[in-house]
């Protein structure tokens, strides 16, 4: 890699997912984040009950994210060859877990007001 | 390659990015251009592969008023780094195919004909259809040709039948190679994996194919049911000694036998016998080896048009005809207005798309500097990268230069000589994206 500018990164991500899918995913992520912030501001408090459900969903999100990534890259857990691989896999799991938690919390809040 | 100017260019790019707003900059390919240079120069680029396309697009973004003409008869653009994946059944053939015309900037003219002659004195290129294209600057990026005829009893139609594979010939050949290789991986037998005596594009590809088929056969029919032999004329497995040693250890671990000093000379497809010439003290002998699967990589040479125009080296690679260029600037040694990029360049390393990614900005720098009447400052030091796949799911991200030094992009993070999943992801997911961005002149 010669120069890693933001523009190159975006070009790379567009090529991986296709321009349409990449920007839809960005839009979806932005939308969920905005909805999450909206319910937080609206309710003026975190609901611990909803947060509990969100937390319970996290392991499923983590596993699903890892399985998805392994599936689309023709890989298996046996291919983890070094610390950087473990860190990357962990990163995928954490991203999946947090994404799922936010999604589940937001969905509950939108469906049922406190 | 990191020079003051390099930094200045990327800093300008960064300022342009900030100034024009991140969203707008991402959508506009011109936002980070180093600045528009006014010129009426006529630039002819022979070849619309990775190098020709990337350079033409960068010049179109950089120059205003220039006539940029790309000469290439092939309508399909091939993503050649993907051929190894197609030949191992990991991607369909169309994964590597796109349309040449779709990649080129609208200010680049495409002549869909082969270049038939180059007159470097009169500065004119003549096409197969009789068009004459006078130039002020000429870029040679025609790739190379596969010399199938050099192997007795072999022709391209044989690929995919009778246990013969040859993945270099394009998507169709790579897919047919997988037909033959998957039969071997399912039924077992003796597999021979060869390499030619000439320079070749992506010297890691013969190794990747060997590793991948061994891995797939081990998971398929299972160890003990097949034999693997790597047969090559070179005394080492890879030109960079430290990488060669690593591959030697991996081959030994995986039970892949190695035969050095052996060049594939003939194939008897009916009897499934490959004949090699073996270099010995005081001469050569012929050695026959039976096979159930044979992977052939024919000798590789510069296209005829380069060799006949007097642009090749006369004192080295005389049987191959690579263009005589300075290895740091890729500028022709006799004709300063001519550059050679990619496969055709007569330099010790660099016949890969990753090399092209580093060569293109350097040639752009020198060409634009010549237009402006000054000297370019960037230097190409032989950077070549090879995500050397060792299994489905693992690779080594090997990067090196002319001096056989390892030059890792991510030192301390991605170890070059370790088989890693992240390096596999580089090859399988990130590489094509980076390649496409490079074609558009963005990376």
- Asked if A75's CB is within 8 angstroms of B17's CB, the reply is no
ipTM value, please give it. Answer: 0.83
Beta-bridged to residue B126, according to DSSP, are B117, B132
- pLDDT band of residue A79 (cuts 50, 70, 90) is very high
Establish if B20 touches chain A: CB-CB under 8 angstroms.
no
Provide, as residue numbers in chain A, all residues whose Cβ is less than 8 Å from the Cβ of B436. 11, 15
Establish if B357 touches chain A: CB-CB under 8 angstroms.
yes
pLDDT at B258 over 50: yes
State the pLDDT at residue B6.
Answer: 40
Q: Tokens for B264, please give them.
A: 């594939």
CB B260 within 8 A of CB B238: no
B346-367: pLDDT as tens digits: 999 889 999 999 999 999 999 9
Alpha helices in chain A (DSSP H): 6-17, 19-43, 48-72, 83-111
Instruction: Please report, for residues B111, B120, B361, the alpha-carbon distance to residue B130 in angstroms, rounded to integers and kept in the order given.
Output: 12, 17, 32
CB B228 within 8 A of CB B193: yes
- The mean pLDDT value for B90-98 works out to 95
**Domains defined for chain B, CATH in brackets:** 4-146+301-382 (3.50.50.60), 148-298 (3.50.50.60)
A24-78: pLDDT as tens digits: 989 998 999 999 999 999 988 888 899 999 999 999 999 999 998 898 888 999 9
- Asked if A75's CB is within 8 angstroms of B424's CB, the reply is yes
What burial letters (b/e) apply to B234-263, b meaning 16+ CB within 10 Å?
Answer: beebbebeebbebbeebbeebebebbebbb
pTM of the model: 0.88
- pLDDT band of residue B57 (cuts 50, 70, 90) is very high
Provide, as residue numbers in chain B, all residues whose Cβ is less than 8 Å from the Cβ of A84. 413-415, 420, 422
State the pLDDT at residue A46.
Answer: 85
Q: Which helix (H) or strand (E) holds B64?
A: strand B63-64
- Asked if A12's CB is within 8 angstroms of B433's CB, the reply is yes
Alpha helices in B220-309 (DSSP H): 241-254, 304-308
Establish if B8 touches chain A: CB-CB under 8 angstroms.
no
B273-316: pLDDT as tens digits: 999 999 888 889 999 999 999 999 999 999 999 999 999 999 99
pLDDT at B13 over 60: no
Work out the percent of chain B whose per-residue pLDDT is above 90. Answer: 86
């Amino acid at each position: 890699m010669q120069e890693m500018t933001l523009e190159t990164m975006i070009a790379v991500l567009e090529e991986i997912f296709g321009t349409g899918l990449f920007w839809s995913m960005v839009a979806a992520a932005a939308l969920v984040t905005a909805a999450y912030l909206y319910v937080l501001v609206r309710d003026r408090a975190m609901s611990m009950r909803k947060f509990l459900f969100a937390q319970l969903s996290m392991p499923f999100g983590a596993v699903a994210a890892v399985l998805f990534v392994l599936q689309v890259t023709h890989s298996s857990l046996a291919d983890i060859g070094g610390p950087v691989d473990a860190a990357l896999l962990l990163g995928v799991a954490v991203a999946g877990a947090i994404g799922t938690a936010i999604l589940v919390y937001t969905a509950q809040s939108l469906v049922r007001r406190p | 390659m990191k020079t003051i100017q390099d930094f200045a260019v990327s800093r300008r790019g960064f300022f342009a990015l900030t100034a024009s707003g991140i969203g707008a900059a991402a959508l506009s390919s011109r936002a980070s251009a180093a600045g528009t240079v006014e010129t009426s120069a006529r630039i002819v680029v022979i070849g619309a592969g990775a190098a020709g396309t990337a350079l033409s697009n960068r010049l179109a973004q950089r120059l205003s008023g220039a006539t940029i003409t790309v000469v290439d008869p092939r309508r399909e653009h091939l993503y050649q780094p993907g051929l190894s994946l197609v030949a191992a059944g990991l991607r369909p053939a169309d994964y590597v195919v796109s349309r040449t015309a779709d990649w080129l900037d609208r200010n680049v003219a495409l002549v869909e004909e082969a270049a038939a002659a180059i007159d470097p004195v009169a500065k004119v290129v003549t096409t197969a259809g009789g068009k004459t294209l006078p130039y002020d600057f000429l870029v040679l990026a025609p790739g190379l040709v596969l010399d199938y005829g050099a192997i007795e009893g072999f022709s391209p139609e044989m690929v995919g039948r009778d246990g013969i594979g040859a993945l270099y010939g394009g998507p169709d050949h790579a897919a047919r190679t997988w037909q033959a290789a998957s039969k071997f991986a399912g039924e077992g037998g003796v597999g021979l994996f060869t390499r030619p005596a000439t320079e070749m594009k992506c010297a890691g590809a013969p190794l990747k194919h060997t590793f991948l088929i061994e891995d797939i056969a081990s998971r398929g029919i299972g160890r003990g049911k097949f034999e693997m032999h790597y047969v090559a004329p070179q005394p080492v497995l890879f030109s960079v000694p430290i990488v060669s040693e690593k591959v030697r250890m991996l081959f030994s671990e995986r039970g892949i036998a190695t035969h050095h000093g052996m060049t594939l000379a003939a194939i008897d497809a009916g009897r499934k016998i490959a004949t090699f010439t073996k270099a010995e003290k005081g001469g050569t002998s012929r050695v026959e080896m039976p096979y159930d699967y044979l992977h052939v990589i024919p000798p590789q040479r510069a296209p005829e048009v380069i060799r006949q125009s007097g642009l090749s080296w006369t004192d080295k690679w005389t049987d191959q005809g690579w263009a005589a260029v300075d290895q740091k600037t890729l500028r022709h040694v006799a004709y300063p207005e001519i550059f050679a990029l990619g496969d055709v360049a007569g330099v010790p390393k660099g016949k890969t798309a990753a090399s092209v990614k580093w060569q293109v900005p350097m040639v752009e720098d020198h060409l634009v500097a010549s237009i402006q009447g000054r000297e370019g400052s960037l230097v190409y030091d032989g950077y070549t990268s090879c995500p050397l796949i060792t299994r489905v799911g693992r690779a080594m991200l090997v990067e090196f230069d002319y001096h056989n030094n390892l030059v890792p992009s991510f030192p301390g993070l991605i170890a070059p000589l370790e088989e890693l999943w992240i390096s596999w992801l580089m090859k399988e997911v990130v590489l094509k994206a980076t390649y496409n961005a490079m074609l558009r002149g963005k990376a």
